[in-house]
A and B are shown apart, each in its own frame.
Chain A
């Protein structure tokens, strides 16, 4: 199937909720749309050869950040959402120079520990984040005075954000930035010998992924209206890995496809969580077995420039 066909199929799928006009379908579609920016952010990191488990942490910061700005400081949601994402981006830019010196498995473990710390802080600092009981009272999103209360409206917002991030990643992929990322991934020593500041580019990718996650988080906060720390835990990292593995790592369409395929499962099986887990685990395992070269070399063997 040519990428164009897949793209068109996805566009058509995006219209399905209006055809079916079901509240439930809209909800699932919105959740897919919320996941897409994060999955794309993760994908960008994978393209530079790093598996990051910090995405849930950045999503959480975007979510809690936007929510708290709207609740405590009465910042209009239209500003609060990007502000929350910006907070995530700033944190990434701050820890990036330290974290990104580490590569491979150790980087994974590092971001895993980082994610756990942030999550535990969400749990512990009940005064600010509401702890395990959750943060309530997030106002509805309002756009120039129009309050968004219906799911289809949030779906539209989700589509907008997803499209934005998708286009950004696509642009990066096709531009010289994509060529630079590829070069760094294929042969970092050579790239640096010609003068590429590998560290700066990695920090940029990391910050971008955090911004995307922050956007996802902000939208999630306003959509659901309530936040609890277990939405931003290790499980989410695994979900993102599964989404990217199943959807495909090499193009920006991959994570989108992966999200469409994998996100409905936990929503539909909300009462049968164990089966959702089983399917996720099996999908991952099937992927690892049949794509025999393994995820790592997939990451390191990008398609040649078209």
Chain B
């Protein structure tokens, strides 16, 4: 029983981490709370539904396409809508609300409100220390770990990654050193949307695909990021693990709504007592 709870929790937390990383990246670098993050997740899933489900593309290719489409849209929106609002936390947040609503309504108009199932690329389970692990979730987990690894390497070793870290820590000094903030903002937003899109694409066959599917993952990302610390990447990882595990425990003990309530209570407590979260730095 315990093993099942742990396995479920770990599997769930990996996707939360991916979502949270994107969410916290945008806040860390642009100080914008991206309420539209769930819609980029949904977009990735929609692309997979279309390319893999309808057109029969290979699954992994469809997922990558989903990520890319989300990323491209993100970059465009960032340049047009969000860049003028960098630093203005309230306006940026409200803009993201507007974007989210618009994207959701477009999805509603295009696909209708109904959720659609898609063919599953993987099925069956295997056994890990006595717990049943579904293959489809295993694939998600492995891909998530891969994505995490690539992201980590990018951040640590690529020029763009280092530039992003610099801007997150101190934008003024960064610009004095010749780092062009515009490129960094576009990259940050694009990568965040890439992550969300990949997550959505990976998760598309697990449940169903619909215009509202991004709401719950965004909520989870939100909770994880608050817990881990807005703007902190290690915080997103730590928060993701903690929330994934605690959720698994609570869902098994009670139900998923209770788990969600508990998550929000955690948010409440964190914001009241230690707004910067577990690993976040205090705001400038």
Interface residues of A (CB under 8 A from B): 51, 98-99, 101-102, 104-106, 108-110, 113-114, 116-117, 120-121, 123-124, 238, 241, 245, 273-278, 280-282, 284-285, 288-289, 292, 294-297, 299
Q: State whether A102 and B102 are in contact (beta carbons under 8 Å apart), knowing that A288-B91, A294-B90 are contacts in the complex.
A: no
Q: Chain A residues with Cβ under 8 A from B99's Cβ?
A: 281, 285
Contacting A at CB under 8 A, from B80-100, are: 81, 84-85, 88-91, 93-95, 97-100
Cα A274 to Cα B104 with chains together (Å): 8
Closest to B254 in A: A124
Rounded to whole Å, the gap between the CB of A250 and the closest CB of chain B is 16
Q: Which of B33, B102, B108, B258 contacts A285 (CB 8 A)?
A: B102
Closest to B31 in A: A105
Closest to B225 in A: A109
Cα A171 to Cα B88 with chains together (Å): 32
B97 and A284 form a contact (CB under 8 A): yes
Please report whether the interface of chain B is mostly helix, strand, loop or mixed according to DSSP. Answer: helix
A105 and B90 form a contact (CB under 8 A): yes
A294 and B275 form a contact (CB under 8 A): no
Rounded to whole Å, the gap between the CB of A281 and the closest CB of chain B is 4
A289 and B219 form a contact (CB under 8 A): no
A114 and B90 form a contact (CB under 8 A): no
Rounded to whole Å, the gap between the CB of B85 and the closest CB of chain A is 7
Q: State whether A241 and B97 are in contact (beta carbons under 8 Å apart), knowing that A51-B90, A274-B109, A288-B91 are contacts in the complex.
A: yes
Rounded to whole Å, the gap between the CB of A302 and the closest CB of chain B is 16
A295 and B264 form a contact (CB under 8 A): no
Chain A interface: which of B41-49, B65-73, B243-251, B265-273?
B265-273
B98 and A284 form a contact (CB under 8 A): yes
Closest to A103 in B: B275
A121 and B272 form a contact (CB under 8 A): no
B261 and A121 form a contact (CB under 8 A): yes
Q: State whether A124 and B258 are in contact (beta carbons under 8 Å apart), knowing that A277-B108, A294-B85 are contacts in the complex.
A: yes
Q: Which of A102, A280, A289, A297 contacts B271 (CB 8 A)?
A: A102
Q: State whether A296 and B106 are in contact (beta carbons under 8 Å apart), knowing that A105-B33, A117-B268, A288-B95 are contacts in the complex.
A: no
